[in-house]
Structure 1
Amino acid sequence: MSAKEKILDLLIENKGSYISGEELASTIGISRAGIWKNIKKLQNEGHLIDAVTNKGYMLKPSSDVFDEKSIRKHLDIPQDIVNFKILKETQSTNSVAYQMALSGEPEGLVVLSRQQSLGRGHKGHTFYSPAGSGIYLSILLRPSNLSSSKTGLITCMGASAMCRALRDVSGKDVRIKWVNDLFLDGRKVCGILTEGALDLESGLLGFSITGCGVNLYPPKGGFPPELSDIAGSLFDDNVDDGGSRITAGFLNYFFGYYEDFKKGNHEGFLNDYRQYSLIIGKNVKFDIDKEEHTGKVIAIDDLCRLVIQENGEKPYLLEPGKVSIHS
């Protein structure tokens, strides 16, 4: 463990209280100048650390540390269900998880980062993932006997779990926009992307990677112009342990759903998905074979397909990932 990591551990243990530079230097075994140098590094990484002459250093109560210890203390599921790989920065947590899956990593891997340089979204879109403002995570699953046609259910499961976690921690009315986006007050605060690999012999899913990107806090300098009218954040400012509580809450709900999912029971997460849907009862425009239609969403069925009624005709069943919804 580096000196910087040791300093952060001590600050976390004493969160909200000052520790003198002399005490830190003595405990870790480096000079006070070395302490100051590492404190500056931690501050640059986004940790909210007060430095006061004659008092020392304090990790502010509102600092969102977002490390494995902080996440695990909020987990209700058995601790050994998940195996964390936490990164400071990566191109894409989905890409990291995918490569680890190809190398034989078992189910339950959770890759986390506070920054992505090439975050991916649905249909090849990018997901803006700046440092210090979001949660970017991916989960590796190896479900047995699951056909590729049902992978959309995993996305719905992830959306339900994240929606409940965001609502629990924020107390705000976060909703699901079919099929893989979460919205708050008309702005997107989370996107979900599920990717997978097929077993060519069986035609079944070999493994799946479900990635979630959450806009937790406003990015420094704001969102890029092309996103400023679309994207939003869950909170306006740092919340004590916000990232850790949301991550743990998401994992608690997700793996709770997954235990039932493996038994063929989809009712729990689908009912939650419907409850928090933004789209049921709304009129929408949609494309089928490049032809535009208009209809009313009357339901979401047991395969997470939209059931849309157009002019009293037989309802359309729109599958996740195979149609475009305009409004």
Structure 2
Amino acid sequence: MTENKLDVLALREQLVAPNGPYAALDVVDTTGSTNADLMSAAGQGAADHTVLLAERQSAGRGRRSRTWVSPEGTGIYLSVLIRPTTVPAERLGTLGMVAGLALMHAARETAGIEASLKWPNDLLVGTDRKKAAGVLSEVAPGQAAVVGVGLNVTALPDGAEPGPGGLPPGSFADAGASNTDRTEIAAGFLRAFAEFEALWRQSGGDVARSGVLAGYRETCGTIGQRVRVELPEREPLTGVAVDVDDEGRLLLKLDDGTPTAISAADVVHLRAD
């Protein structure tokens, strides 16, 4: 196995039953989208806690079908299929919060960098808070869900395109990571995800009772920020992000004092006046 390849044997030894919490784990050289692959596999009866990683994606996706650039050997592109049959369907949307906490663990504990979460699903790293990772959670057939993560590990090339709202892209290496071993970072994320997801599942998807909400609030850099919320086919809203509720919604106090809850939108952190 070449140095820059993910070590599938090491990942399986650490993470797949009987030694770990996952039922199956595969690494493919290239695919369109790991999320799309596991969405299809869910309909064909793939097991709870199935993991798929790709060295490269040709059609990686983020929220609102945006492209996630996924070049070979530079990042971690993975998806996890879960079948949380005890969790009501309306709570499956909070899985993104679970994945966000696992990303924070990978950044801090495995890569040795400081990071924060930007609501709803971005991992920001470095003193200039660049986006190094995102989460895409989708409901799959048969009371299942697929959670996908795209994470930039090695240094990004010059000219990397900014994200929505002008959010600059970054990576663990650019943020001064002490560890950029992709296999170790993937394993760190997957271990943490399994731990947080187990608590979430045991609590019936209740993020408050499971402790997920408290952890998310603690690490969410959006709370307390003045923000602009960009919604499809509507004028942007501006105000202060005051909290995240137990449905994963961002709670705002608008400039005119009106409280409002946002379920899905692009949020831009505004500089203080």
Q: Which has more radius of gyration?
A: 1
Whether 1:315 aligns to 2:256 is no
Q: Which residue, 253, 267, 270 being the options, matches 2:213?
A: 270
Kindly provide the amino acid, as one letter, of the partner of residue 33 in structure 2.
S
Q: Which residue does 2:171 correspond to in 1?
A: 233
- Is the 2:116–2:219 contact (alpha carbons within 8 Å) kept by the matching residues of 1? yes
- Is the 2:34–2:77 contact (alpha carbons within 8 Å) kept by the matching residues of 1? yes
Q: Which residue, 271, 282, 291 being the options, matches 2:235?
A: 291
CA deviation string 1:153-209 (max 9, x = no partner): 10111111111112112221111110011111321100110112355xxxxxx2111
- Is the 1:294–1:310 contact (alpha carbons within 8 Å) kept by the matching residues of 2? yes
Q: Which residue does 1:244 correspond to in 2?
A: 183
Q: State which drifts further: 207-216 or 305-314.
A: 305-314
Q: Which residue does 1:92 correspond to in 2?
A: 33
Show the 5 A alignment for 1:75-224: 75=15, 79=19, 81-82=21-22, 83-185=24-126, 186-197=129-140, 206-219=143-156, 222=157, 224=159
CA deviation string 1:39-92 (max 9, x = no partner): xxx4xxxx3xxxxxxxxxxxxxxxx54222322455599635311011111111
- Is the 1:77–1:252 contact (alpha carbons within 8 Å) kept by the matching residues of 2? no
Kindly provide the amino acid, as one letter, of the partner of residue 88 in structure 1.
D
TM-score of the two chains, using structure 1 as the length reference: 0.71
The 1:75/1:111 distance shift into structure 2, 3 A limit, reads closer
TM-score of the two chains, using structure 2 as the length reference: 0.84
Specify the SS of the correspondent of 1:140: strand
Q: Which residue does 2:248 correspond to in 1?
A: 304
The gaps in structure 2 that reach 5 residues or longer are: none
Q: 2: distance between equivalents of 1:305 and 1:171?
A: 29
Q: 2: distance between equivalents of 1:65 and 1:114?
A: 7
Q: 1: distance between equivalents of 2:16 and 2:44?
A: 29
- Is the 1:189–1:215 contact (alpha carbons within 8 Å) kept by the matching residues of 2? yes
Q: 1: distance between equivalents of 2:14 and 2:107?
A: 14
CA deviation string 1:270-326 (max 9, x = no partner): 22211111111101112467133221111111222111112473521111x2x3323
Q: Which residue, 262, 268, 272 being the options, matches 1:326?
A: 268
Q: 2: distance between equivalents of 1:240 and 1:301?
A: 34
Once the two structures are aligned, what percentage of the paired residues are identical? 28
Q: 2: distance between equivalents of 1:241 and 1:73?
A: 20
Q: 1: distance between equivalents of 2:179 and 2:13?
A: 14
Q: State which drifts further: 173-182 or 286-295.
A: 286-295
CA RMSD of aligned residues (A): 2.6
Q: 2: distance between equivalents of 1:175 and 1:279?
A: 9
Q: 2: distance between equivalents of 1:244 and 1:271?
A: 29
